[in-house]
Amino acid sequence: MRPPGMPTRRVDAMFSGSMSSLRSANVRRLVQGTFDVLVVGGGINGAVSAACLAARGAKVALIDKGDFAGFTSQQSSNLAWGGIKYMESLEFPLVRKLCMSRNHLIRSYPSTVREIRFYAVHERGFRHGLWKLLLGTWLYWLIGNFFTKAPRLLGREAIAREEPIIALDKSDGGFEYSDAYLHDNDARFVWNFIRGALNYGCVAANYIESLGSTKDDDGVWITRVKDVTSGEEMTIRSRVLVNACGPFVDTMNVESKQPTEHAHVFSKGIHLIVDRLTPNARVLTFFADDGRLFFVIPMGPRTCIGTTDSRVDSPVTHVTDEDRRFVLDNINKRLRLPKKLTEADVIAERCGVRPLVITKRATGKGTSDWMQLSRKHVVEVDAKTRHVSIFGGKLTDCLNVGEEIAAHVQDLGIPLSYPDARWYGEPPEQTRLEFLHQAEPFQHSGIRSLEFT
């Protein structure tokens, strides 16, 4: 069995046959008996919910209408970060919580969630002065319990020497601080939770779409689902229903006639992938023309540039010419490249919406301060119907979401026999070394490892 957290494509190649027969078996199991919990949605929020509940002893089913981690959770910036930008909106409790979550992830996933330096350039005339921002990074470091390397001030000469591709004509210097990076990438990170849930008996199947849920006379949720691959329809019975459909949470609640106080609005973000721009394994950080943080992120042999933040009405989006221009213009202004980047340099694009949570009362008025809308998650529980909705959130905060959902499900009357079971984290170092030892022969088989250098 593959130890959780092992980041190699060759392992997936080895397992692909058994995975498809496991899916078929699990689709058959979905219709048998009554589950304690059905989790709808296999992005990060659904994956951690299933992993925590299954490890703690609940009988869990998990479905997704597409690939697991195939929607928002594969479109992120791959950062586990303490939310330094929320310091500007004085959301210190959120920053503290995210910093603690980031530290916890770094400790739990030493080979895949690793500290990375953010190399930030300051332009003269920006709304905050250089020294004020540097002070902010020291405060950020303090809020994060000094867990990472200390921030440092960057003079123009140091920047020119260390990152010669940065254009310095408008800059009076910069600063460097730390956060963390998902070296394994976001989708693989999510998949490891699903793999973990399967290990604890969770019945998980992708390409199973929920068409809505109703309650029978005994108060059991009956969820009508469709196997997207065959068109076959069936029903899944569960005592508790967890709606983890990300940007589709509201649609799903409407389908299930489940009223909620909260709802989502959507912020679209895109990234462009180009050939590697700098050999250094650090995130170059700028303030874009709209004043937002803007990143040049190392991604294996490539560089990922972004992101944007524009309000959209639908979760289903695509990269527009305007988005592309915004990213390319911003980067071309801030880097001294031998040749300006154009659309022809774009190897791949990533595009998703951040599901941002608002209270329904605020709809239409409280959303005017768009950039300031909080990125925190909210779990809304209806004890009468035994229904749980997960709104918003971040990959960074995922371990808290898993723990919270398990606590709510227990409060809803589902006994968890193993309340202290550890459901996340990489296996001990010895297991990792043994795995790499066993995988050694495959290194010569021509299948390339995905491990980052």
Please give the residue ranges that form the binding site for ligand FAD (CB under 6 A): 40-46, 63-66, 70-73, 75-79, 209-210, 244-248, 252, 269, 307, 352-355, 393-396
Distance CA 90, CA 396 (A): 19
Nearer to ligand FAD, 151 or 392 (CB): 392
The DSSP call for residue 317 is -
Least distance CB 75 / ligand FAD (angstroms) = 5
Distance CA 116, CA 93 (A): 23
The DSSP call for residue 166 is B
- For residues 373 and 392, is the Cβ–Cβ distance under 8 A? no
Nearer to ligand FAD, 134 or 357 (CB): 357
- For residues 425 and 108, is the Cβ–Cβ distance under 8 A? yes
Least distance CB 53 / ligand FAD (angstroms) = 15
Nearer to ligand FAD, 261 or 429 (CB): 261
Least distance CB 185 / ligand FAD (angstroms) = 11
Cis peptide before 307 (omega within 30 of 0): yes
In whole angstroms, how large is the CA radius of gyration of the chain? 23
Distance CA 201, CA 55 (A): 8
Distance CA 414, CA 119 (A): 47
Q: Which two tokens stand for residue 250?
A: 């509201």
How many helical (H) and strand (E) elements, i.e. helices and strands, does the chain have?
10, 18
Nearer to ligand FAD, 57 or 402 (CB): 402
Least distance CB 390 / ligand FAD (angstroms) = 6
Least distance CB 268 / ligand FAD (angstroms) = 7
Least distance CB 353 / ligand FAD (angstroms) = 6
Alpha helices in 33-144 (DSSP H): 44-55, 92-108, 130-143
Nearer to ligand FAD, 41 or 57 (CB): 41
Nearer to ligand FAD, 217 or 322 (CB): 322
Least distance CB 155 / ligand FAD (angstroms) = 29
- How far from 298 is each of 224, 293, 306, 330, 337, CA to CA, in Å? 43, 16, 12, 17, 16
Dihedrals φ, ψ of 283, to 5°? -95, 120
Nearer to ligand FAD, 282 or 354 (CB): 354
CB-based burial label for 423 (10 Å; 0-12, 13-18, 19+): buried
Nearer to ligand FAD, 133 or 304 (CB): 304
Least distance CB 123 / ligand FAD (angstroms) = 23
